[in-house]
Amino acid sequence: MRLPPCRIDLYIFRDDRFIILRMAADTPAPRRRGRPTKTREALLETREALLRAGLEVLTEKGFSASGLDEILRRAGVPKGSFYHYFENKDAFGQALITRYADYFACKLERHFSNTTRAPLARIRDAIADLQAGMLRHEFRRGCLVGNLGQEMGSLPEPFRAQLSDVFADWQQRLARCLREAQAGGEIPEHIDCDEAAAFFWIGWEGAVLRAKLERRMAPLELFVRYFFAGLHVTE
Amino acid sequence: MRLPPCRIDLYIFRDDRFIILRMAADTPAPRRRGRPTKTREALLETREALLRAGLEVLTEKGFSASGLDEILRRAGVPKGSFYHYFENKDAFGQALITRYADYFACKLERHFSNTTRAPLARIRDAIADLQAGMLRHEFRRGCLVGNLGQEMGSLPEPFRAQLSDVFADWQQRLARCLREAQAGGEIPEHIDCDEAAAFFWIGWEGAVLRAKLERRMAPLELFVRYFFAGLHVTE
C-alpha cells in the first residue's frame, strides 16, 4: 500500500513497542514512543552512520548490487532496525542522492569560489581534487550519481528527475566559473559556457567509468586534456 | 567447488537422465546423453534464445539488477534448465559480452570499411547508426559493455580484462578509420588518432549514460559535436 506524503510520523505497535511506519517528510529522524531506548541524538547518529555506509557501498557497487545487509554491517546497525530510519530501500536511495549531491556541490564550490585563483585554475583545482579522491580509493569508488544514472533502467522512476537535477546543478556551477574565465579573457568569447559545462559532465562520467574499469588515471587525464583543448586552451 | 577448465563435457545422472555439470570450453552447446529429449540443433536454438534475451535485459538493466527469471521468461526457457546451457550466471555474462562485442564490432566495420564513403563520413554513419539504435529502443537500452564497466565493483574479476579488451578493440577500429581520414587530408597531421579514438569511447559511454537517464538524444549530439570539433573539423 502506498500512503500519501504525511506531515506526522505514523507508528504501529508491535512486540511491546512502537515502530515507525511512515516518517513525516520533513522529519530527519524518527521519534519513537513507548519504551525510550535511544535519545533523538542517538537516532540521528545512527541515521548518519547508515548514510555514510550507504554512500561508501553505493559509490563502489551501485544500487542494485548493494545489499542492505552489507550497509547495516558497515554502519554497525542491527538488522531489522533499518526501517526505524528509512521507510524502504528506495527512500534510503533518495536520501543518499541528496547527501551525495550536497557533498559534491560543496566540494566544487570550495574551488569555484576561491577568488585567490584565476577561474580556469579553480576548475583545474576542482578536477585535481576529484582525481585525488579516485586515486585515494584505488579507483574502486566512482560517482554515486553516475552509478545510479547507469542503473536507471532498474531504479524507481522518481530517481530519474532527482539524478537529472543533480547533473543540472553541477553543470550550472561549472558554467558560472567558465563565464568568469571568459569575462577575464581566459577563454574565447565564442565558447558557449553552458554547452561546455554540459559536455564536461557528460564526458567526465564516461571517464570515471573507464578509470574504475581499468583502475588507472589515464582515462580521466585524457578526457580533461581534450576538455581544455576544446576551450582553445593548451595545457 | 571450482573445477579447472576441461576439454570434455561432464555430467551427473539425476532423475533418470544426464544433466550437464560442466561444459567443455570449446563446446558451443551441451550434448546430453540418456533420454534424448532434444536434438543438438534444438539445444543450440535454445542457447541462442537465452543469449538474445540476456542481451535485451542486460543492455537495459545491467548485470546485478537482471534476474535470471526474467531472461528465462523472455526466452521461453523453463526455469531449471538454464544450467544445461551455461555453467552459471557468470559464464552466461561472459558469453553475453563476447556476443555483444562481436555484434558491435560487426556493426562498426560495416561502416568503417565502406569505401564508397570518405573516412570521416563513415565515422558519422556509424555514429548515426548507434544513435538510431538508442532512439529505436526509446533510450532504454544502453551499451552492455558500458553497463558492465560501471558495475565492475560488484562483478567477477575476469569480467574486467574482457571488458577492457572490448574497449581496446573498438578503439583500434575507430583509430584505423581516423588514420585513413588523416591520410586523405580530412583531419590535420598533428592529431593523434589513437588518442582521439580513446577519447571518443570514453566520452561516448558517458553520453549514452546521460541519454538513457534523460531519455533524449541531446547528450549524444553534444558529445559528437565536441568530438568532431576536437578533430578541428567543423560540422
Q: What cell does A81 get?
A: 532496525
A76-90 mean pLDDT: 88
CB atoms closer than 10 angstroms to residue B169? 15
CA distance B157 to chain A (A): 10
Q: So what's the pLDDT on residue B228?
A: 95
Residues of B with CB under 8 A from a CB of A: 60-62, 64-66, 140, 142, 146-147, 149-154, 160, 163-164, 167, 195, 198-199, 201-207, 209-210, 212-214, 219, 222-223, 226, 229-230
- Name the residue with cell 574565465: A181
From residue A29, alpha-carbon distances to A22, A42, A87, B172, B174 in Å are 11, 10, 11, 53, 53
Pick the CATH number of A10-86 from 1.10.287.110, 1.10.10.10, 3.30.365.10, 1.10.10.60: 1.10.10.60
pLDDT of residue A225: 96
Q: Residue B118 — very low, low, confident or very high, per pLDDT cuts 50/70/90? A: very high
**Percent over 70 (pLDDT), chain A:** 83
Cα A193 from chain centre: 24
DSSP B104-154: HHHHHHHHHT-TTS-HHHHHHHHHHHHHHHHHHTTT----HHHHHHHTGGG
* Chain A residue with Cα closest to B194: A222
**Per-residue pLDDT averaged across B180-199, rounded?**
96
Contact of B198 with B134, CB cutoff 8 Å = no
ipTM value greater than 0.95: no
Indicate if the pLDDT at residue B6 is higher than 60.
Answer: no
Residue A100 · residue A144 · CB < 8 Å: yes
More confident residue, B34 or B196: B196
Over residues B49-93, the pLDDT tens digits come to 999 999 998 888 888 888 888 899 999 998 888 888 899 888 999
Read off the pLDDT of residues B193-216 as tens digits, 9 standing for 90 and up.
999 999 999 999 999 999 999 999
- pTM (2 d.p.): 0.81
Task: State the pLDDT at residue B97.
Answer: 95
Direct distance between the N- and C-terminal alpha carbons of chain A, in angstroms, rounded to an integer: 57
B146-178: per-residue pLDDT in tens? 988 888 888 899 999 999 999 999 999 999 999
Question: Superfamily assignment of A94-230 in CATH?
Answer: Tetracycline Repressor, domain 2 (1.10.357.10)
Q: A-side interface with B, Cβ within 8 Å?
A: 60-62, 64-66, 140-142, 146-147, 149-154, 160, 163-164, 167, 195, 198-199, 201-207, 209-210, 212-214, 219, 222-223, 226, 229-230
Level-2 CATH architecture, domain B90-230: Orthogonal Bundle (1.10)
Q: Which of A130-144, A160-174, A188-202, B191-205 has the lowest mean pLDDT?
A: A130-144
Contact A153 B142 (CB under 8 A): yes
Residue B34, pLDDT > 80, answer no
Tell me which residue in B153, B203, B214 faces A61 most closely, judged by beta carbons. B153
Q: B12: pLDDT confidence band, cut at 50, 70 and 90?
A: very low
Domain boundaries, chain A: 10-86, 94-230
Q: What is the CA radius of gyration of chain A?
A: 21
